[in-house]
Structure 1
Amino acid sequence: MPGQSSVAPFPTNGYTIYEFTGRPSSSTNELARVHTGVIVEVKDVHQAKIAEEAGACCVLFSQPIHEGISRMPEPLLFKEIERAVSIPVIVKIRIGHFVEAQILDCVGVKHFDESDEASAADAENFINKHKFKDSHFVCGCRSLGEALRRIKEGAIMVKTQGGMSSITGHITETLRNVRSVMSDIRYLHNMDENEVFAYSREIAAPYDLVKETRELGRLPAIHYAAGGIVTPADAALMMQLGCDGIFLGLEIFEYPNPRDRLRRMIEAVRNHSDPEALARAAFGFGPA
């Protein structure tokens, strides 16, 4: 991104990966690990180990308090999870709560998720992510304009989300929002260059990022989907629509044999264009 970290796509093994320049090499390596895959929400060391063993590219650490609402997790438990797994650990913080980010930054957290509207501390003012020089932020979106506003604030990953309760299995809102973002990107990509400035005003997004999105033909950040994704077919659907990966919520651990369910979801993401592989992943998957 101009003036921040530049994002350059290049093909590898059929996927598009992003090279983030202007970051320390260790951070770049961790970003490369989550360019595509499955990120699993966990609340303790045991769940984090299950997610890693199943093949998750990353875990999202959160501690729900009541009816899905969460606050800054216990820093000590983060350190325990960090020591227990070799994959990156993202920590969920409340929207706009920059002091939570400051505290966690001091104890070594480098990956933050600022996307949970149910736990927003300040829904009008998001964290200025550029102040956290070596950290990476994940933010949620439901439209192209919202995604680009979060990227301008410093988000390195956006997740297009719908209803965030996976246990209900309602993928409809997530599907609608993913299709909307992808449709708007295609519309922008085919737009005359002279129309881009007016379109950026229409969607209330920064002109430089709208222009960059038009040139890339996709978001200038890692793009995941979240909400209501509960079967291998759901996971493959998000991937075939153009997402880089998916988030799975804590509900996955409420099913019998969560390790096997996670492994099948991850296989579906890795083989999302292969109907035979998807059939194998779905065979005996159990109730959604």
Structure 2
Amino acid sequence: MEDDGVVTVYNNSAITDTKKKNQFSIKVQLAQMLRGGTIVEVVNTEQAKIAQGAGACAIVVSESNQSGISRMPDPLVIKEIKRVVSIPVMAKARVGHFVEAQILEAIGVDYIDESEVLALSDDQNYINKHNFRVPFVAGCQGLGDALSRVREGAALIRIQGDVSGNGDIVETVRNVRSVMGNIRVLTNMDDDEVFAFAKKISAPYDLVAQTKQLGRLPVVQFAAGGIATPADAALVMQLGCDGVFLGSEIFTGPDSGKRVRAIIRAVMHYNDPHVLAETSCGVLDSFARLNLNEDEGEQSGNGGTY
């Protein structure tokens, strides 16, 4: 059943809590366990092992074949990956496809990503995430989108940028700045202006008011799309994100483990220029391969990536 209110817990203090044992509160706390980390997209057990060895806080499983209609990954692949790693495992479901979500929950994934990067199954409705025990991740491009997804039950927000896998971070930065900029505007508003602002961004008033009180989204917020270097990862962290998603294109070419480790370390030390300089040494040439040409981008199919 959908919770009567949203519970946010930061630094062990609850902002609101309408039920003593609020299911959504538990999901939010599970998502906060990923805060400050890097979630790496993988397509097979080998990549999953590399991501875990590099220090990823979680992995997200996606389809290996991106041609044609992109759907949830094969449950058999997810089970194989779960057997070889000990970190949390996410899997993608199509927007609105609650049956894919039911299947993913049944096979024991730790989080479900309702991913607009996949082909849509429902262009009008999102999954009612309150119907599930497992925490959900959902994407947004602006503050109104983010709070709408939280109202539906998302416990982690993915601020989404480029989905082509071309290593272009400009859209991600634009969307992160948009979300953070609107939060700053909201924080400085008079209380009687919040109603109009909530209507303007098409977001639930109570969540807008809670965001004003917190000075941030009421759930953890990660950035995704175009993050290809340690500097990219540190940039979105310094802009206010709680972590990053890395697309599976990070495994392109040799030394993929080194690249993943470099970005994960950059996320952990995003405010230390000396560590960032160290993590960038000797890896930028290999990162350049992630700037795919137009033909390669077209070959990636409809599925896209983080």
Does TM-score exceed 0.5, indicating one fold? yes
Query: Among the aligned pairs, what percent are the same residue?
Result: 51
**Which residue does the alignment assign to 2:237?**
239
Amino acid at match of 2:101: A
Instruction: Name the counterpart of 1:59.
Output: 59
TM-score for both structures, normalised by structure 1 = 0.91
The 2-side partners of 1:29 and 1:204 are apart by 26
Contact in 2 for aligned 1:2/1:208 (Cα 8 Å): no
The 8 Å contact of residues 37 and 243 in structure 2, kept in 1 or not, is answered as yes
- The 8 Å contact of residues 61 and 89 in structure 1, kept in 2 or not, is answered as yes
1:3 corresponds to: 4
- Where 2:244 maps in the other structure, the secondary structure is strand
Q: Is the 8 A contact 1:45 1:80 kept in 2?
A: yes
Given that 1:232 and 1:281 are in contact with CA atoms closer than 8 Å, whether structure 2 keeps it comes out as yes
Larger RCO (alpha carbons 8 Å, 6+ apart):
2
Partner of 2:130: 130
When structure 1 is superposed on structure 2, of 90-99 and 110-119 the one drifting more is 110-119
Letter in 2 for 1:58: A
Shift of 1:243: 0.1
| Deviation of the 1:31 alpha carbon | 3.1
Q: How does 1:104-119 map to 2 (within 5 A)?
A: 104-119=104-119
What do the CA deviations read for 1:246-286 (whole angstroms, capped 9, x no partner)? 00001011131111111100111011000001000011113
Map Cα deviations across residues 184-214 of structure 1 (whole Å, 9 max, x no partner): 0000011101100111001000001000000
- 1:3 shift after superposition: 2.3
Q: For 2:38 and 2:268, locate their aligned partners in 1 and report how far apart those are by CA, in whole Å.
A: 9
Aligned residues: 280
DSSP 3-state at the match of 1:119: coil
Q: Which amino acid counterpart does residue 182 of structure 2 have in structure 1?
A: D
Given residue 52 of structure 2, which amino acid in structure 1 is its aligned partner?
E
| Equivalent runs, 1:109-258 vs 2, <5 Å | 109-132=109-132, 134-166=133-165, 168-258=166-256
Q: Distance in 2 between matches of 1:69 and 1:112?
A: 19
Aligned 8 A contact 2:138 2:157 in 1: yes
Structure 2: 5+ residue runs without aligned partners?
288-306
TM-score normalised according to structure 2 size: 0.85
Instruction: Give 3-state SS (helix, strand or coil) of 2:226's partner.
Output: coil
Return 5+ residue gaps in structure 1 as ranges: 12-18
More strand by share: 1
Spell out, residue by residue over 1:1-38, the C-alpha distance to the aligned partner (whole angstroms, 9 max, x if none). 97255112228xxxxxxx9x735999677534311210
* Residue 77 of structure 1, CA deviation: 1.8
1:66 is paired with a residue of what secondary structure?
Answer: coil
